[in-house]
């Protein structure tokens, strides 16, 4: 069934992964059921948030938690929190900053765009984004030299968007920050481990609720109690414009409860089965000028099929991507390496019965 047919939009086969531009995750039926019931009911919203945030903190092992409308909102709320603390006058004054701490440091290779610029998320609070080092190298002295009495926080990005080579590691950043009593905020929007970054010394870690966790559009901040208290207080200021509804709060909570029960190895094995099936289906078409390879994500247990365009390919990677997208059903792929002639197929939102459809469409395009 295609629920978007009513507005004349084609069905999408999602081989791109948990991408915001495609709606991120298709929630499990249990999550959808809870959301439907919540959307048709009433609740004291303050009490709901308090109850869910306490339970999520327990589930993740964090001191405290704050639910947001998305990870981008979580970044803004986290930055606002370090600028204001729990002073309501400062919360209401933003983007005018009442106090001397107004600079947020990040490594040059971490100044990414995830569909919007991370530095803009920082500047929305009134803070100044101070980038250090170069895109191909940051050394400890760069961070040491950037820290002043005006430093409010350091943002550390864990993402395929970010440069990882020759950047300071999170433990290195934390070691320097802790000497100056500066909180480190980790942007871990699409990451899978909900405990790692706090364990490595981050003060706050920000996640998307609708990517690895598999919930509806939502976000999560976990970390130090005092900073989470300040995050929650931002509802009296910036976070009011980013509020999350009762149905998404309940959907997020249901999704994270299921997510934390999953066996990571079973999940990896299931994804590998889908990728191997897709590889076999494509190879079975006998397409000339194409080779395939299974490659694992650098930081997450995600196997992906790489479609590699060879010299005798009948079209470029970008041309094939365009043809796949124009098809009905529209087939969406992961295209970060398209300039290098590589198309990736991500299995996380792909149904195993869709692999044959992808192969058939590719064969029709290739031979057409």
Helical packing angle, 354-367 and 317-326, nearest 10°: 120
CB 82 within 8 A of CB 185: yes
Closest CA to 104 of 33, 182, 163: 182
My answer on whether 243 and 271 are in the same domain is no
Closest CA to 243 of 70, 105, 52, 89: 70
The reported pTM is 0.92
Q: Which pLDDT does position 163 carry in this prediction?
A: 76
My answer on whether 240 and 276 are in the same domain is no
My answer on whether 207 and 96 are in the same domain is yes
Q: Which pLDDT does position 264 carry in this prediction?
A: 87
Q: Which pLDDT does position 301 carry in this prediction?
A: 86
CB 230 within 8 A of CB 82: yes
The domain boundary residue, chosen from 193, 227, 259: 259
Residue with structure tokens 């905020």? 185
Classify residue 53 by burial, with Cβ atoms within 10 Å: 0-12, 13-18, 19+: buried
Residue with structure tokens 């190879």? 283
The domain boundary residue, chosen from 234, 259, 284: 259
Question: N- to C-terminal Cα distance for the chain?
Answer: 28
Classify residue 329 by burial, with Cβ atoms within 10 Å: 0-12, 13-18, 19+: middle
CB 124 within 8 A of CB 76: yes
Q: Which pLDDT does position 178 carry in this prediction?
A: 97
The domain boundary residue, chosen from 259, 281, 297: 259
Asked if the structure places residue 130 within a domain, the reply is yes
My answer on whether 194 and 275 are in the same domain is no
Neighbours of 288 (CB within 10 A): 10
My answer on whether 51 and 153 are in the same domain is yes
My answer on whether 58 and 156 are in the same domain is yes
| Radius of gyration of the chain measured on its C-alpha atoms | 22
My answer on whether 191 and 307 are in the same domain is no
Helix, strand, coil distribution of the chain in percent, nearest 5:
45, 20, 40
Q: For the chain, what is the domain count? A: 2
Closest CA to 34 of 222, 256, 190, 240: 256
Q: How far is CA 304 from CA 32, 198, 250, 337, 354, in A?
A: 27, 28, 31, 13, 15
pLDDT digit string (tens) for the chain, length 368 residues: 788 888 989 999 999 999 888 888 899 999 999 999 999 999 999 999 999 999 999 999 999 999 999 999 999 999 999 999 999 999 999 999 998 999 999 999 898 888 889 999 999 999 999 999 998 899 999 999 999 999 999 999 998 777 778 899 999 999 999 999 999 999 999 899 999 999 999 999 999 999 999 999 999 999 999 999 999 999 999 899 999 999 999 999 999 999 999 998 898 999 999 999 999 999 999 899 999 999 998 778 899 999 999 989 999 999 999 999 999 999 999 998 999 999 999 999 999 999 999 999 999 998 87
Asked if the structure places residue 30 within a domain, the reply is no
Q: Which pLDDT does position 330 carry in this prediction?
A: 96
Distance of CA 332 to the CA centre of its chain: 18
What is the phi/psi pair of residue 39, to 5°? -65, -20
What is the phi/psi pair of residue 302, to 5°? -125, 115
My answer on whether 254 and 275 are in the same domain is no
Q: Which pLDDT does position 300 carry in this prediction?
A: 82
CB 108 within 8 A of CB 130: no
My answer on whether 133 and 229 are in the same domain is yes
78: domain CATH number is 3.40.640.10
Asked if the structure places residue 112 within a domain, the reply is yes
My answer on whether 74 and 185 are in the same domain is yes
CB 204 within 8 A of CB 186: yes
Asked if the structure places residue 36 within a domain, the reply is no
Asked if the structure places residue 293 within a domain, the reply is yes
My answer on whether 82 and 174 are in the same domain is yes
Domain that holds residue 110: 42-259
CA distance 98 to 96: 6
326: domain CATH number is 3.90.1150.180
Asked if the structure places residue 8 within a domain, the reply is yes
Residue 220 DSSP one-character state: E
Asked if the structure places residue 34 within a domain, the reply is no
Q: Which pLDDT does position 315 carry in this prediction?
A: 93
My answer on whether 143 and 53 are in the same domain is yes
Question: Phi/psi class of residue 119: alpha, beta or left (left: φ > 0; alpha: ψ in -120 to 50)?
Answer: alpha
Asked if the structure places residue 31 within a domain, the reply is no
């Amino acid at each position: 069934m295609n629920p978007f047919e009513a507005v004349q939009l084609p069905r999408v086969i999602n081989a791109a992964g948990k991408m915001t531009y495609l709606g991120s995750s298709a929630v499990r039926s249990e999550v959808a059921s809870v959301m439907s019931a919540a959307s048709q009911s009433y609740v004291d919203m303050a009490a709901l948030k308090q109850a869910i945030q306490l339970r999520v903190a327990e589930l993740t092992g964090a001191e405290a938690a704050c639910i947001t409308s998305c990870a981008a909102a979580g970044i803004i709320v986290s930055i606002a929190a370090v600028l204001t603390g729990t002073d309501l006058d400062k919360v209401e004054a933003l983007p005018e900053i009442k106090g001397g701490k107004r600079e947020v440091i990040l490594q040059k290779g971490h100044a990414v765009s995830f569909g919007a610029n991370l530095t803009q998320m920082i500047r929305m609070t009134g803070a100044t984004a101070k980038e250090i080092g170069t895109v191909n190298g940051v050394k400890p002295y760069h961070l040491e030299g950037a820290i002043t009495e005006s430093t409010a926080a350091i943002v550390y990005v864990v993402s395929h968007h970010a440069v990882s080579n020759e950047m300071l590691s999170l433990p290195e950043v934390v070691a320097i920050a802790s000497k100056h009593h500066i909180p480190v905020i980790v942007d871990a929007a699409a990451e899978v481990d909900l405990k790692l970054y706090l364990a490595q010394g981050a003060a706050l870690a920000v996640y998307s609720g609708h990517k690895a966790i598999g919930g509806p559009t939502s976000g999560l901040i976990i970390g130090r109690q005092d900073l989470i208290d300040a995050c929650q207080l931002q509802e009296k200021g910036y976070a009011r414009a980013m509020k999350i509804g009762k149905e998404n709060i309940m959907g997020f909570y249901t999704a994270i409860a299921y997510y934390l029960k999953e066996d990571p190895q079973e999940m990896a094995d299931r994804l590998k089965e889908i990728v191997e099936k897709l590889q076999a289906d494509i190879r079975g078409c006998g397409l000339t000028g194409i080779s395939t390879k299974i490659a694992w994500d650098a930081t997450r247990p995600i196997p992906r099929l790489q479609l590699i365009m060879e010299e005798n390919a009948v079209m470029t990677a970008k041309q094939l991507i365009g043809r796949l997208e124009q098809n009905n059903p529209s087939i969406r792929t992961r295209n970060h390496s398209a300039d290098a002639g590589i198309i990736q197929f991500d299995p996380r939102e792909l149904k195993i019965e869709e692999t044959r459809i992808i192969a058939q469409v590719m064969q029709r395009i290739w031979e057409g």
